[in-house]
Structure 1
Amino acid sequence: MIRNMIVAGCATGILLCGAGQTMAHFGMVIPSENIVTQQKKNIDINLSFSHPFELIGMDMVKPTRFYVVAEGEQTDLLNSLHEAEVMGHQGWATNFKVKRPGVYHFVMEPQPYWEPAEDLSIIHYTKTIVAAYGDDEGWDEPVGLPTEIVPMLRPFGNYAGNSFTGQVLIDGKPAANAEVEVELYNRDGKYQAPGDYHVTQVITADENGVFSFTCPKPGWWGFSALSEADYTIKNPEGEDKGVELGAVLWTYLNEYQLQ
């Protein structure tokens, strides 16, 4: 498994260096629906580690953990995953049947990803929140990750043009001045960035770890709050190297429908 991560990281590093830019990595947990209704009780969920705007995938080995939290109860979903192709690379997928009303937090903890271009390992704790059958309680509650983004705007039932607000936590405490990267999942490839700086937007949170961003287009938007772990992980040569932690949250914004 580690070898797979190393190969993927090296290939990505070569690609990024050749492109003359550094694109942001994003853990991705993308469901087919973020609001479940009686007409659509099952959702498909894709997991990957990718560059969402540029649609550049990377091979990802099976996550360390994948589970859902609803009404304070955690359910392990790791064994439900099967390999799937995401952006032309190895990802993972599952199908989840929502049986009762609630707010469902789907959480992925990946295995560490060695990125030679940055000389560190990357772990993105990735979360997506799905509402079901009219319930909207508990969307603003943390799930106890080492680092996570807690939404302050309800993360479903929103329109493009809304301003998303969230709070970054590290070990359950506000992360002052956290750096947050933002990207649109350019799933259909219909958008082109004017330049490299436009691919990934960057925000600095305030002293309470709070940030806001106005999402101009409909679709899935990813927010990744980056921090440095207080531990190291050995690289392929056996050297102790730093670890980048990412608190990643995905939310979907709709466009208004015409009558």
Structure 2
Amino acid sequence: MIPPLLSRTILATTLSVIFALPAAAHFQEIIPSADVLPEGGDVTLDLVFTHPFEGGPTMAMKRPVEVGILANGTKTNLTDKLVEQSDKGAVTWRVSYNLPEPGAAIFYVTPQPYWEPAENKYIVHYAKVIVDSFASGEGWDEMVGLPVEIQPLTRPTGLWTGNLFSGVVTKAGKPVPFAEIEVEYVNDSGIKAPNDAYITQVLKADVNGTFNYVMPASGWWGFAALVEGDKPMKSPDGKEVPVEEGALIWIHTSPMGK
């Protein structure tokens, strides 16, 4: 039998470890090989469900419900062009496409719901990224029409490091007041966070659903506006659980003068 004092010590230590663990932010990546194609041409996009700043773990991703492109007012379904990949043993996806005409190509993904047992909920992150073909600077603010979606107010291509990005969080086409937005950096450069508080930046939109963020490092940045879905889903054990819907947009910045 464990002595009472030792038992209390073990319990306190266990609880301190549990509460010290950070809540890992999940991000649905849809990262293109370039955000601007000065002469048009081919672009390849990698679809990975992961924790960007920490470089993992990568969650296994079922074949998406839909992957598509909105360009010049026309949607094209690219789901049949998906190629299964692997990252650290987890299933990921890749798609390639040719952009022969000028204008913004808005690539988007509707993933299958992901069951997160640690949070007792399903996660569905509708993600998009804009690729500017022929550096046209046009069409970047078109909306795909996703259930939840970020409308950019700043052109999301051709940005310098340190530029401010602004957007509006929408649900069913209407702004979401005071929506919470998580921001993470795809940490390919090996930046060390002083502590866990720096890994995921958090901000809130204003009453009009508008938010602003200055990106301090070069590379890819993900903005995930999180809202609760209207309808619960059944968990693997048959219980009704909430659904986290995420509106994601990916933005690239480049250093000035290099």
Give the TM-score normalised by structure 2. Answer: 0.90
What's the CA shift for 1:88? 4.6
**What is residue 32 of structure 2 aligned with on the other side?**
31
| 1:235–1:110 Cα change, 3 Å | same
Higher CA-based Rg:
2
**What is residue 79 of structure 2 aligned with on the other side?**
78
CA–CA separation in structure 1 for the residues paired with 2:153 and 2:101: 24
Q: Write the letter of the residue equivalent to 1:156.
A: T
**What is residue 46 of structure 2 aligned with on the other side?**
46
Two-structure CA RMSD over aligned residues (Å): 1.6
What's the CA shift string for 1:167-218, capped at 9, x where partnerless? 0001100000000000000124x11111111000000100000000110000
What's the CA shift for 1:18? 10
1:1-259 equivalences under 5 Å are 20-38=21-39, 41-56=41-56, 57-86=58-87, 88-188=89-189, 190-258=190-258
What's the CA shift string for 1:68-96, capped at 9, x where partnerless? 00111000000101111235521000211
| 1:136–1:46 Cα change, 3 Å | same
- Counterpart of 2:197 in 1: which secondary structure? helix
What's the CA shift string for 1:205-251, capped at 9, x where partnerless? 00000000110000000000000011011110111111000000001
Q: Write the letter of the residue equivalent to 2:53.
A: F
CA–CA separation in structure 2 for the residues paired with 1:102 and 1:19: 47
| 1:80–1:19 Cα change, 3 Å | farther
CA–CA separation in structure 1 for the residues paired with 2:180 and 2:62: 27
CA–CA separation in structure 2 for the residues paired with 1:221 and 1:95: 21
Gaps of 5+ in 2: 1-16
What's the CA shift for 1:257? 3.1
CA–CA separation in structure 2 for the residues paired with 1:86 and 1:191: 21
**What is residue 3 of structure 1 aligned with on the other side?**
none
What's the CA shift for 1:19? 7.5
CA–CA separation in structure 1 for the residues paired with 2:144 and 2:94: 22
Give the TM-score normalised by structure 1. Answer: 0.90
What's the CA shift string for 1:136-186, capped at 9, x where partnerless? 222112211110011111001111101111100011000000000000001
- Counterpart of 1:58 in 2: which secondary structure? coil
CA–CA separation in structure 1 for the residues paired with 2:219 and 2:19: 29
CA–CA separation in structure 1 for the residues paired with 2:48 and 2:64: 9
Q: Count residues with an aligned counterpart.
A: 241
Q: Write the letter of the residue equivalent to 1:49.
A: F
- Counterpart of 2:112 in 1: which secondary structure? coil
Q: In 2, are the aligned partners of 1:224 and 1:247 still within 8 Å (CA)?
A: yes
What's the CA shift string for 1:116-144, capped at 9, x where partnerless? 11110000000001101132222112211
**What is residue 10 of structure 1 aligned with on the other side?**
none
Q: In 2, are the aligned partners of 1:44 and 1:94 still within 8 Å (CA)?
A: yes
Q: Write the letter of the residue equivalent to 1:192.
A: K
> Percent identity at matched positions?
41
Q: In 2, are the aligned partners of 1:100 and 1:132 still within 8 Å (CA)?
A: yes
Gaps of 5+ in 1: 1-15
Report which stretch shifted further, 213-222 or 233-242.
233-242
Q: In 2, are the aligned partners of 1:55 and 1:87 still within 8 Å (CA)?
A: no
Q: Write the letter of the residue equivalent to 1:217.
A: A
- Counterpart of 1:118 in 2: which secondary structure? coil
CA–CA separation in structure 2 for the residues paired with 1:223 and 1:148: 11
Q: Write the letter of the residue equivalent to 1:112.
A: P
Runs of 4+ with >6 A deviation: 16-19
